[in-house]
Amino acid sequence: IKERGGSAISALTADDHERLNRKALIERRLIHALDKKNLEVLYQPQINLKTGDVEGVEALVRWQDTEAGIVSPDELIPIAEENGMIHEIGKFVIETVCRQLKDWTSRNIPMNVSINSSIREFRDKDMARLFMEHLTINGCDANRLTIEITEKFALEAEAEHSIVRQMKQLNQKGISFSLDDFGTGYASFRYMLLLPISSLKIDKDIIQSITQQEKMQKLINGMIQFGKSLDLQVVAEGVETKEQLELLRVMDCDSIQGYITGHPMTANELETWLKHS
């Protein structure tokens, strides 16, 4: 509900109504879906540009509901961050990934998995402990895990100390951290200064503009060299074309992830894909 002049409440437009209804439906159905574990995790390969090796996969949540239909992460995650259900989604993803890693390990399929985590989740002072608990319960090797954190939020001063401490704790247990959506946020320098980050992921919108202007190419090249000068692994996300790939190769980018090498896929599809890659 919007307020105008501090007192009068303006009427909601039809669009506002639709958005609020959709949000309410998603919230209601999400509780149900989490309870029934009706969400899914897909895996998208990340390829080393020099060796062609699969470095690992990124776990991406998927949700298709009988009433809400397909709810994309871009719609789902902001709502879940707002109402706190992000913690339950995070738990579901960690559990699913750990179970999958265990299965792959038992069948001699070595794999590293990145999971996305909202920095908001780390505001919870118990996040690191909960995270390690999930790993232990599910018999998961922390060294196989990377947590991708986005720089879409600034580190809030009050929460900063706790966030930094928890990430360092997890890092000491073997978990790596990657700075996601690099180039789109505003907090990157502070993040890089304080957090135990070992890789940078350049955002897909930036990568996709690589062929548009020469200035953009220079910017991306600068980002890659910047990451390297800090000894960070640089990953380009959202690579779709051969032209983009070749430019990134010339710029000495470490690895790529994108439709050109593989879409997000189920664990079974990934295994088939691995056999043919």
CB of 150 to ligand C2E, least distance (A): 6
Give the binding range for ligand C2E (CB under 6 A) out of 72-80, 128-136, 213-221, 246-254. 72-80
Which lies closer to Ca ion via its Cβ, residue 163 or residue 238? 238
Give the binding range for ligand C2E (CB under 6 A) out of 97-105, 113-121, 154-162, 224-232. 113-121
Residues numbered 131-170 forming contacts with ligand C2E, rule: CB under 6 A: 148, 150
* 100 near ligand C2E, rule: CB under 6 A: no
- For residue 82, what are its two tokens? 């707002």
- The residue within the footprint of Ca ion, chosen from 81, 121, 124, 148 (CB under 5 A), is 148
* 117 near ligand C2E, rule: CB under 6 A: yes
Which lies closer to ligand C2E via its Cβ, residue 190 or residue 263? 263
Give the binding range for Ca ion (CB under 5 A) out of 15-23, 128-136, 195-203, 215-223. 195-203
* 186 near ligand C2E, rule: CB under 6 A: no
- For residue 160, what are its two tokens? 């900063």
CB 197, CB 179: distance < 8 Å: yes
* 118 near Ca ion, rule: CB under 5 A: no
Measure the N-to-C terminal CA separation of the chain; round to a whole number of Å: 52
Beta-carbon contacts of residue 76 (< 8 Å; ≥ 6 apart): 26, 30, 61, 63, 89
* 237 near ligand C2E, rule: CB under 6 A: yes
* 203 near Ca ion, rule: CB under 5 A: yes
| Burial profile 21-60: b = 16 or more Cβ within 10 angstroms, e = fewer | eeeeebeebbeebbeeeebebbbbbbbebeeeebbbbbbb
What does the angle CA 60 – CA 63 – CA 57 come to, to the nearest 5 degrees? 15
* 151 near Ca ion, rule: CB under 5 A: no
Separation of CA 150 from chain center: 7
Strands 113-117 and 145-150: parallel
Tell me the backbone φ, ψ of residue 160, rounded to 5 degrees: -55, -50
* 181 near ligand C2E, rule: CB under 6 A: yes
Which lies closer to ligand C2E via its Cβ, residue 171 or residue 257? 257
Per the listing, tokens 């309870």 go with 35
- The residue within the footprint of ligand C2E, chosen from 22, 73, 184, 209 (CB under 6 A), is 73
Residues numbered 243-272 forming contacts with ligand C2E, rule: CB under 6 A: 258-259, 264
Q: Which does 175 bind (CB under 5 to 8 A by kind): Ca ion, ligand C2E, none?
A: none
* 166 near Ca ion, rule: CB under 5 A: no
Tell me the backbone φ, ψ of residue 237, rounded to 5 degrees: -105, 155
Distances (CA, A) of 213 to 166, 206, 209, 217, 241: 41, 11, 7, 7, 16
Indicate left, alpha or beta for 215 from its phi (over 0: left) and psi (-120 to 50: alpha).
alpha
Q: By the criterion CB under 6 A, which residues form the site for ligand C2E?
A: 44, 60-61, 72-74, 77, 89, 93, 116-118, 148, 150, 180-181, 204, 237-240, 258-259, 264
